[in-house]
Amino acid sequence: MKTALICGVSGQDGPFLARLLLEKGYQVVGTSRDAQMASLANLDRLGIRDRVRVESAHLNDFRSVLQVLSKTKPDEVYNLAGQSSVSLSFEQPVETLESISLASLNLLEAIRFTDRPIRLYNAGSSECFGEAGDRPADEKTPFRPRSPYAVAKSAAFWQVANYREAYGLFACSGILFNHESHLRPERFVTRKVVAAACRIAAGAAEKLRLGDTKVCRDWGWAPEYVEAMWLMLQRQRPEDYVIATGETNSLEDFVAAAFSEVGLDWREHVVIDPSLLRPSDISVGRADPGKAAGELGWKAKRRMRDVVRSMVEEERAQA
C-alpha cells in the first residue's frame, strides 16, 4: 500500500485528490497547521473524513516539514497548500509569497534531506503565463506574472525545476488552468456567480456585483484535474504539464450560462462594480494541453458549460 501526503488537504483540490487516491488503494495523510482545530468540511462533504489521517504541519517551518515527512514516510507528496486567491494576493503579498514559495522550498529541501525516493507534485498555475497573447500557452511559453500570487507560483515552479535538475529529485509541476467545483469558497468568482444565481432564482432580492466580465479563461472541472496530478507521479521521469480543457470563454459567458441554468437573464441581475477590479489582471487565458493528452493520456471531459451545470446542481442540492 502506497502512502500519499497531501499538503493542503482542506481546500478544493485536496479532498478530490484524497478521494481518488483512496479509490486507488492509497493510505492518505493530509496536513493542516493545527490538525485538532482544522476545518475539514470539504472532506466531510465528500464522505471521506474518517478515512484521511490529518497531521499538524506548518510548511513555512522547515523543522515541521521534516518531522511530518519522517513520521508519515510518504511515497508521494502533493503540494496543494498556500494562499490560493489572486485577488487576496494583492492585499497580502508577503503571506502569499511565503505560503507558496517558501513552503515549496522547505518541502523540496526536506525531501532531499530525508534521502528517500519520494515523488513530489507541485501545484503550479496558469497565472504564471500572464498575457500570453493569442497563442495558447504550453510548457515552453515564457512566464510573465501579473500578480503577487503568480510571482510566488513562478518562483515555486523554478524551485522545483532546479531541484529536479541539480539533485535528481522526482519533482514536477502541473501548470493548471482554472478548475472549479462546488467546493470552492464564495470568494472565488465562479462560486460567487453560481451561488448568487441560485439564491436569486429562489427569490432573493439581491444584485450580483462583478468586476471585469470581459476577461476570458479556460475553465475545467476540478475532480478531473486531480487525476492529472496523480498521472504525473506515475511516469518514469518527472516532467511539467499544462492541464486545461483547451477551450476559452469569457466571464460574461460563464455568468450567462449560470443564470440560464436557473431560468434567468443575467443582464437583469448583474451590476458592474469598478471597485472589484484588480490592480492588474490577465485579459485572456488560452491553453494548449496537447502534451498532457499525448504523454499522460489525459483529456478534460467537461467544458465550461458542463462545469456550470454541475456547480448549479450541487448548489441547489445543498440549499
**Residues that are catalytic:** 125, 127, 149
Residue in 288, 310, 311 with CA at minimum distance from that of residue 299? 288
Helix axes 103-114, 148-167, angle to 10 degrees: 20
> CA separation (Å) from 58 to 39, 245, 252, 260?
15, 33, 39, 43
**Which residues contact residue 278 at a Cβ distance below 8 angstroms, ignoring those fewer than 6 apart?**
86, 87, 90, 147, 211
Cell numbers standing for residue 264? 434567468
- Report whether 231 contacts 286 (CB < 8 A): no
Helix axes 13-23, 222-232, angle to 10 degrees: 60
Residue in 210, 206, 170 with CA at minimum distance from that of residue 188? 210
Please give the Cα distance from 287 to 281 (Å, whole number).
Answer: 17
Overall residue count recorded for the chain in this entry:
319
